[in-house]
Each structure stands twice: as C-alpha cells, then as structure tokens.
Structure 1
Amino acid sequence: MTEPSTPYRFGLRLSERGCVAGIGDGIAWIRGLPSARLDELIGFDDGSSGLVFQLGKEVLGAILLSQSRGVTAGMAVQHIGRKLEIGVGDALLGRVVDPLGSPLDGLPPPQIRQLRPLEAAAPSIIERDFVSEPFYTGCKIVDSLIPIGKGQRQLIIGDDGVGKSALALDAVLNQRGRNVLCVMVLIGQPRSSVAGTLEALRAAGALDYTVLVVAEANALPGFRYLAPFAGCAIAEHWMRLGRDTLVVYDDLTRHAQSYRELSLLLQRPPGREAYPGDIFYLHSRLLERSTVLSLEHGGGSMTALPIIETRQGELSAYIPTNLISITDGQIYFESKLFAAGILPAIDIGRSVSRIGGKAQHPAIKNAAAHIRLDYLQFLELELFARFGTRLEASVEQKLQRGRLLREILKQDRLQPLSEQAHLAWLLAYGEGLLADVAPEQAATVLAQLLQQLPGSALKLDSPKQQWLAALKQWLAHKP
C-alpha cells in the first residue's frame, strides 16, 4: 500500500535572484543576492556553479568552478543553499581527481557515499594528542637526523629543481604495507610532471593507497586555490575514522600565488609583495588541521609535508617565513649541495625537526645521537682544511671519517629504505665497523650490507649486541 503524497499547499514563496554584472579571468561579479554568505555555492542559469569569495556593498565576487563559456553578463544567478563539498572515502584510492572530486584519469566517477566540506575548523585542543609514533620517509638523513612523527607538519623548502618533490614522493612510496593512506596535492604543475608522478606511483604499486588531487598550471586560479583544501578534506575523513594519513602539498608557493591572483582580481588591497593581508591565515588554517587525534576521538593522524620554493636560497622571504613559523620544522635543500652531486641535497645544519625526536624509535635515536654533531664538525674542519694548513693525524682521521659519512648519507631517488636499514648503517658507522672502508667504496659496501637484512631475524627492538654480531659477520665476508 502506497502512502498518500503530500498535498500541494498554496502560499507565498520568496527567493533571491541576482544577475551577472561582469565576468573575466575566472571571476564573476554579481548584483543582487543580498543574503549570500562567504564560501556559499551559487548557481547560474546555464548550469555552471560558483563560490562566493568576496562580499561588497553592491556587488559580490564569485570564483567560477567550471570553465563554461555560457556564463555571460545579465545571466540570472540563484542560491544553491550549501557550501562546497568533495566526495571522500576509499573509492578515491588509486584515482586522479580535481579539487571538486571529478575524475581526471578517464575512468568512471568514483562511487561516493559521503561528502565533506573543503573548509572545516581544525581539531580543538581537547581532540588532539601528543605526537608519539614515528613516521618513516625512507630517507637516511630524515629518518635518522631529522625525524618526523605521525601528525607532524614538516616543511620541505629549497630552490626549484633540487629534489624537494622527489623526497615527498619517496615518503609516499615508503608507506607501502604500513597502513598509511596518502593524498598528493599537485598545484599548478605542468601535465608532464603530473604524468611522471602518476607513473612513478603506479610502477611502485603505491597508487593502491594514494589519491592524487590535481590542479594543473592551465587551470582556473580558483581551482589552484581550492586544491590543498580538497586534499586535506579527503585525508581528514580517514583521520576521523582512526586511520593514519599523509598529505603532500606540492607546492604552496603556487598556491599562495593563486590566492594573490584571485585577491588582486577581486580588488582587495595588496600588502607585502602584493599578497593580501590574510595570506598567513590562508596557510595556517590549512596546516592546523594536520594533527594526531586522541583515542577518545578516533586516534587517527594526518601528517603534512608542505613544499615551498625559495629563490636563491632566501629563507627570509615572505611566504617561506610564514610557513616556517606555522610548521613543526623544516627540511632545507641546498642548491650548492645539489650542484656538487650530494643527493639528497639536504642541508643538515639548517634543517630541524622540533617534535619528531620524541616520536623516534629509541634504538635509532641512540644510534644517531652523535651523528649530526659529528657531521657538522666535519663540515667545519673540511672548510678549514681547504686553506692548505698542515693537519694533525687526529684531525685527518676525523676528515676521513666525515667523508665516509657523507658518502653513506647519499641516496638515489625512488629508493626508500626501511627502518631496519637505517639502524644497520647507523650502528655500522657509529661503532667503527666501516673504518677501513674507503669513501668511494661506501655505497657498494653499504648496499651489500643491507642485502642481508631481509633474510635475518633482526628487528628494531633486538638487542644491540645481536645487531653488532650480525653486522660484524656480514662485513667479514664482504669482497
């Protein structure tokens, strides 16, 4: 038996309708709609949609969310009645989507069962917990000397083309089998770079646990502005369900430039370097959503790796200083090291992790306790030795040991290492087991040493003496 339909009721219905006053460069100026709110969706008569971004006394500015050419001056506009949302869930794994959730990989749209707003308040202090679990990137320098914890926001900073994106990609590849879901946000990159990243993920089998949110270089400025918030919303959904997630923002320099472009188009008053006055709030409200939740609120975590670009190594520029003050540390890439072939070109002296040390495994932490200081002292001694001064035998020994460490720290891209491998080389170097190895042979000896790990029963919690006995046995049979 069917239920009776609701009877039609006569009554006065009021609705607001505005009209397009002007359009250009991805921005629509609209008259009317006096009750419109910021970040509210509005609809055009041709089926296009926009996002209210600027409230004025007579007109409001909206970001076009589609590149439809049918939007013209005089077209009617009406409220949609909701804020911008994106589909979230496991159906997005392995997919490439735009900031609105539309597929870019040529496959059918994902079957989405839940939506989440792009803009959301960061978790409160009550919901948060301390960073206590390590996050492994697979990079020798980072995991041993600049450790990261789950829920941390670690900035990757440096000039263009020095390996910042390669480190972030290695971190994603290293999450295979670790039950960490990854979201890579590619902002303003050319299609060739996006295709290269996608192919690297597919070749390594990392696409099964990764989502790519892409706003290409030729996309509307509004899409590039929304991209990191879309990626954050996708990861935040899993974090609220108790999952561990990783978000890579590549990069926030282009994101800030897109926001500056939008602000200037909307005639907002410019500030320093023509950026609007709320540029700090733009990135702070994004990165503050990355945290680790307490068990009472799910226990999930969102680790953020924002990437920022500098010019000629200038760390005191406007956007870099903003992000350095927001994040929990930075990994600084030096162009001079890159030019010298020292890869990854991470400047250990300028890089820091403010809270990652508390999450580092005790075995790795103890083994790496003096490595950083030894390396920095070696760099000073090497600089002093360039003047041709006659050196004592002890100083020459320190230089030789430092050159060996520099060769050990070198690592090819797309080859992340396990935490057991980190502990193996740290103990082998720290205990002097590699003292008779020439620096030019370090890579070969280390590769042969690490090949023995998969077949052994050694774990991070294994006694140190057991590790040393195995390392001595393996090194005794090296060619």
Structure 2
Amino acid sequence: MPKDNLTDAEKIIAEATQLTTENLKLPPQTIPATPTDSVSTRADSQTSFEVGYVTSTRNYLLLLNGLPTVRINEIIANKDGTRALVTGLQENLIESLLLDDAIVAPNEQFFKTGKQLGVEVGDHLLSRVINPLGLPIDGKMKFPTTNRTAETNKIATGIKSRQFIKTQFITGITTVDMLIPLAHGQRELVMGAARSGKTGFIIDLIVNQGKKSSVVSRQSSESLKADSEASLKTESSSQTIVIYALIGKPLTEIRRLVDILTVNHALEYTCVIAASSSDPASMVLVTPAVAFSVAEYFQSKGRDVLLILDDMGLHAKYYREISLLSNKAPGRESYPGDIFSIHAALVERAGKFKSEYGGGSITCLPVIETPSNDYASFIPTNLMAMTDGHLMFDYEIYHRGFRPAINVALSVSRVGRQTQSIVQKQLADHVKSILAQSKRLETLSRFGSEVSEETRQLLNQGTQIESILAQDNLVSMELPVQIILLGLIFTTFLTSKPADFLEINKSKIIEYLRTHVNLNDFLAKITPLTDEKQLAPLLEPLIPQLEKLTAASPEK
C-alpha cells in the first residue's frame, strides 16, 4: 500500500516497525546493559528486542510505554547505559526509578536487560564498603567474580524454617546484657532523638563483636593456657558477622563511621552497605533489602549475623517522596498506605533458623531518629509494633553525661529474657526495682525532708547501681563481670560503703576479676541456680581480697 494512503495510526506503527527491524538489528549481547557484577542474570533471547518509550519524567521517576514482558524489580537501560529499576506495572504504563544520576527526556528508548536487581555475595564482601548494587565504593580492588547472586525481593521464609530463640546475644554493655537483654535472631528497635547516643551505641556494639565471643579468663595460670589457645582457634568460625546498612546518610558521616570501624579493627568482620543522601532515591530505597540479602548469605552458612539498618526513618521519607511522585494516595503524615507492610516484610526476614535452612541467625536492629523524644509519631510506632522490643535513648540522660543514655524504664525486650538464667532474671528485676524506687525517693528528698536509714540505704544502692551501669564508649564488659558487680550490691562488701565508693574503685575491681577469677567457671556455677539468694555465697570468697584491694583507696 502506498505510504500516502496510510492513516496516521498506520504510519506510526510502520515507523516503529522499521525502527525495530532496521535500527535494532543487534545481537542480544550488544544491547546496552548494566554491569554484570552488580545484578543477577535472567537472559531471555526471545525478549531481547523489546523496546519501551519514555512518555513522561518526574525527576527520577520514569513512565514508559512498551516492554510488554518486563517484570517488577527488573533493570532496564537506554543506549547510553543509564539504568532504571522497574517498580510498578500499570495497565498501559511502566513505572521505573533511575539508578543513575542522569537526565532522561521523553521519547527516549529503554531496553530489557533480562536482569533482576541483586548482588553477588561471598566472603569477599567482609571489610569492604559497597553500594546497593554490590559495587565497591571504598577505592580498593575489584571483587572477584562469583557464581552466587542473591536477589533482593526475597520473601521471608515461614515458621517451619524458624528455631526457638534461646541464645543470648552478648553486647558487652551492662545495661543491655543484664536489664534489657537481646537474643540471637531478635528484632530490636533502637530509637531516640538526635544526639542521644544512638550512633555511639551502634559503634560500641559492632566493635565489641570483635572481642572473644566466649568468655575466657585472663588468668596467667599455665593450666588455662591450652584452653585459651584452643578457644582462639575456634574464634574465627564463631565470629559474629556484622552488616551495617547506612541509609540516606551524608557522605561525610559515612566516611567518619567507616574510619572509626577501621581504626578499631571492626571492619574486618563487617560489610558496610551505603547509600548516601546524594545518591538517587532508588538506591536509598533498595538498601535495606540488599543488606538483608547479604545477611542471608552468611546466615545460610551457619553464621550469626548482626544487621543494623540506620536509619529506617530516612528510608520511610524517601519512600514517601517516591510514592507522592507516583501519585499514590497519601495516608497519615502523607506516607503511603503500604509503608507498614514494606517495613514488616523486611524485618520478618530476621530470625533464628533451623539447620536444614542453613542454621545461623540474623539479629536485626532497625534504627530511627525521633523528633524531641516524640515516640508516638507514625513511623516509630509502626516499627515498635513489628519488632520484639526497643531501646529508648534519652536526650536528657545523654546530656547529663551518662553513657549509654538508655532509658531503662521505657525500654523493653520481649524475647531476650527467655535466654537468661533464672539468677540473671531475678537479679535484673531486683536492680530495676531499686533503680525505680531510688529515682522516686531522690525526687522527694530534694524538698529537704529528713530521710530514714532505710531510705538512705536505698538511695545509696541506686547510686552504686548507676556507677556500675555507666560505661564509656569502646569499653566492653564480660557477662560474668556484670553479674558479679551487680551481685556485690547486695553483699556486705558494698552495703557499708559510701555512694561514691564504686565510682572510685570500679576499674580496680574489674581488673581484679578479669585476672584472678575464672570467669568461665563462675558462669557455669550460676547457670543452674534457681534463686538469686544462692548467688551471695558464691561471691563471699571474693570479699576479703576486694577489701584489701580497695582499702588504700583515697577518699574523694
């Protein structure tokens, strides 16, 4: 048929057909694609010649027509190599987010790459800093090619893959290990206002994982030397792996945190996955899912993994921005209606797993910054509802100089207590009760009223407990040492001592316990005890030596 006799619609179809058959006569491998070391390949030669046209752009959001067989989470690219991630399929349009910082104009062509968003996983990721596409951004050597790629849109496994949580996650921080314990496989929210000590706590937590996972006495006795060497040989296999996801942080903050981990030799067992505030919003959006994929690789090898998502509040804000650009109906605080399910689907991937599912565990700590101790806003309450407890960091406690600035009264752990021994539970309940009473009586005593001897003793105990719980940054405390220190509060050793006694002598006592007490044996002795009162007889033999040690202490 002569071209002049065609209708306008027939002319458009003929031109599109000519472009497809003439301009795109390329072998599949020459179609512009993303780097092969950052995505998983699902090549499909039958769809290699599909093309889509950009109909409109909204900043980094693209709407395209065409690509009839494209799927969610697939990567598409134009002839310049600019990549986009397919995030939505409408009736006649495809919604995608740019993965590169580029300008795309309407009518530009995008092609299928046949690749799903994923990351190549392996032990080579440890001690490295990568972006959400799995590419190194730390200036070090390139990664070796591996045959294992983890996709990011994995659905959490069901309850049949889960194991009962019964192992305590030792943080080396007395307040957490004794009063608000964590467990391997638990999901615990870390929340608080800006500059309330959350980041310092996270750094301490990561650095402390580099210490021996099993408590080994520091005695110089030759009889323990062989056991210590055997413990060191197995340490590498029991080392907790840390995945630290930095979500939407400034580049300067990312560099600072990586430098701190490097100086403290914590990067050796850590993989940092960073999407900065200057990266495209799509990179920030997929960061938590990529972090979980990397964590699941190590978990499948039977390793215990600590996964930190910092900051999920920023992640929610980026998702809100993308949703508003997509014309999704806004809900409370303008967040989309599916924000809860997005976050819940992520944290559900954490847990303690059975051996047939790889064994190991993923302990997840989402972090969120709350405005001025306002814990009742939408996203914080959502995260509180989908986790197994929360650590509440208090701005006022932090600026009084107390570290860690955790508000014990407002913090909770719904799973960790079941991993503690009976004596630990009873001792923790006793300590928390005294702390609460001493806080109340301290307020009343400020009005100048006289206090009884019993009240004075209670206030004295409250001060001593706070001295024990106070812990400087980058200082780790063994679990048996924590139990002994808190147990001494209720023995004759401390009942007659002034309130500032522990503040002066705490470091001496700790060093003595580490060098002269077999901490492994002590922990083994208290585990089967069924009453807190049975702890005192085990501590009595230590008192004479501690009295001698502290007798020459100078008075304040």
TM-score by length of 2: 0.80
Matched, 1:80 2:127: no
8 Å CA contact 1:328, 1:353 repeated in 2:
yes
Tell me, in whole angstroms, the C-alpha distance in 2 between the residues paired with 1:192 and 1:435. Answer: 49
Cα drift, residue 435 of structure 1:
3.0
8 Å CA contact 2:178, 2:482 repeated in 1:
yes
Tell me, in whole angstroms, the C-alpha distance in 1 between the residues paired with 2:441 and 2:502. Answer: 21
Spell out, residue by residue over 1:185-222, the C-alpha distance to the aligned partner (whole angstroms, 9 max, x if none). Answer: 11121222212211221122111100001111211111
Matched, 1:187 2:247: yes
Cα drift, residue 161 of structure 1:
1.0
8 Å CA contact 2:208, 2:474 repeated in 1:
no
1:6 aligned partner: none
| More displaced 10-residue stretch of structure 1: 342-351 or 88-97 | 342-351
Tell me, in whole angstroms, the C-alpha distance in 1 between the residues paired with 2:48 and 2:181. Answer: 59
Tell me, in whole angstroms, the C-alpha distance in 2 between the residues paired with 1:365 and 1:159. Answer: 29
- After superposition, the CA RMSD in angstroms is 2.0
8 Å CA contact 1:371, 1:430 repeated in 2:
no
Residue 450 of structure 2 aligns to which amino acid in structure 1? R
2:184 aligned partner: 150
Spell out, residue by residue over 1:130-188, the C-alpha distance to the aligned partner (whole angstroms, 9 max, x if none). Answer: 11101011211111000000000011111111011211221111111431100011112
- Correspondence for 1:474 among 526, 546, 556: 546
1:351 aligned partner: 411
Tell me, in whole angstroms, the C-alpha distance in 2 between the residues paired with 1:18 and 1:127. Answer: 41
| More displaced 10-residue stretch of structure 1: 345-354 or 441-450 | 441-450
1:461 aligned partner: 524
- Correspondence for 2:76 among 42, 63, 71: 42
Describe the shift of the 1:315–1:432 C-alpha distance in structure 2 as closer, same or farther (beyond 3 A).
Answer: farther
Cα drift, residue 53 of structure 1:
1.2
8 Å CA contact 2:48, 2:113 repeated in 1:
no
8 Å CA contact 1:407, 1:439 repeated in 2:
no
- Correspondence for 1:223 among 277, 280, 283: 283
| More displaced 10-residue stretch of structure 1: 321-330 or 426-435 | 426-435
* Largest Rg, 1 or 2: 2
Residue identity over aligned pairs, in percent, reads 32
- Correspondence for 1:249 among 309, 317, 330: 309
Tell me, in whole angstroms, the C-alpha distance in 1 between the residues paired with 2:120 and 2:504. Answer: 48
Residue 423 of structure 1 aligns to which amino acid in structure 2? I
Tell me, in whole angstroms, the C-alpha distance in 2 between the residues paired with 1:255 and 1:468. Answer: 52
8 Å CA contact 1:44, 1:76 repeated in 2:
yes
Residue 189 of structure 2 aligns to which amino acid in structure 1? L
Tell me, in whole angstroms, the C-alpha distance in 2 between the residues paired with 1:472 and 1:123. Answer: 55
Describe the shift of the 1:224–1:452 C-alpha distance in structure 2 as closer, same or farther (beyond 3 A).
Answer: same
Where structure 1 has 5 or more consecutive residues not aligned to the other structure, the ranges are: 1-10
Matched, 1:108 2:135: no
Cα drift, residue 62 of structure 1:
0.7
Tell me, in whole angstroms, the C-alpha distance in 1 between the residues paired with 2:395 and 2:514. Answer: 35
Matched, 1:169 2:192: no
1:386 aligned partner: 446
Q: Secondary structure at the match of 1:86?
A: strand
Matched, 1:137 2:171: yes
Correspondence 1:292-371 to 2 at 5 A: 292-362=352-422, 364-371=424-431
Residue 201 of structure 2 aligns to which amino acid in structure 1? L
Matched, 1:33 2:33: no
Cα drift, residue 388 of structure 1:
2.7
Residue 458 of structure 1 aligns to which amino acid in structure 2? L
Q: Secondary structure at the match of 2:115?
A: strand
Residue 345 of structure 2 aligns to which amino acid in structure 1? R
8 Å CA contact 1:18, 1:33 repeated in 2:
yes
TM-score by length of 1: 0.93
8 Å CA contact 2:129, 2:271 repeated in 1:
yes
Q: Secondary structure at the match of 2:371?
A: coil
1:235 aligned partner: 295
8 Å CA contact 1:96, 1:214 repeated in 2:
yes
Tell me, in whole angstroms, the C-alpha distance in 2 between the residues paired with 1:385 and 1:161. Answer: 31
- Correspondence for 1:410 among 460, 465, 470: 470
Displacement over 6 Å in runs of 4+? 11-14
Describe the shift of the 1:112–1:361 C-alpha distance in structure 2 as closer, same or farther (beyond 3 A).
Answer: farther
Describe the shift of the 1:395–1:15 C-alpha distance in structure 2 as closer, same or farther (beyond 3 A).
Answer: same
Correspondence 1:5-84 to 2 at 5 A: 15-69=49-103, 71-84=104-117
1:98 aligned partner: 131
Describe the shift of the 1:426–1:12 C-alpha distance in structure 2 as closer, same or farther (beyond 3 A).
Answer: closer
Matched, 1:423 2:497: no
Cα drift, residue 12 of structure 1:
9.2
8 Å CA contact 2:101, 2:279 repeated in 1:
no
Spell out, residue by residue over 1:330-369, the C-alpha distance to the aligned partner (whole angstroms, 9 max, x if none). Answer: 1111112122222211111110100101112455334434
Tell me, in whole angstroms, the C-alpha distance in 2 between the residues paired with 1:14 and 1:339. Answer: 60
2:161 aligned partner: 127
8 Å CA contact 1:420, 1:453 repeated in 2:
no
8 Å CA contact 1:424, 1:450 repeated in 2:
no
| More displaced 10-residue stretch of structure 1: 138-147 or 381-390 | 381-390
- State the aligned residue count: 468
1:288 aligned partner: 348
Residue 226 of structure 1 aligns to which amino acid in structure 2? V
| More displaced 10-residue stretch of structure 1: 144-153 or 371-380 | 371-380
Spell out, residue by residue over 1:214-235, the C-alpha distance to the aligned partner (whole angstroms, 9 max, x if none). Answer: 1112111111111111111101
User: Larger % of helix: which?
Assistant: 2
Tell me, in whole angstroms, the C-alpha distance in 1 between the residues paired with 2:322 and 2:344. Answer: 18
Cα drift, residue 311 of structure 1:
1.3
1:5 aligned partner: none
2:334 aligned partner: 274
8 Å CA contact 2:465, 2:486 repeated in 1:
no
Residue 271 of structure 2 aligns to which amino acid in structure 1? V
8 Å CA contact 1:378, 1:398 repeated in 2:
yes
Tell me, in whole angstroms, the C-alpha distance in 2 between the residues paired with 1:268 and 1:472. Answer: 71
Correspondence 1:425-444 to 2 at 5 A: 425-444=485-504
Residue 105 of structure 1 aligns to which amino acid in structure 2? D
Residue 166 of structure 2 aligns to which amino acid in structure 1? S
8 Å CA contact 1:148, 1:360 repeated in 2:
no
Where structure 2 has 5 or more consecutive residues not aligned to the other structure, the ranges are: 1-44, 214-238, 527-534
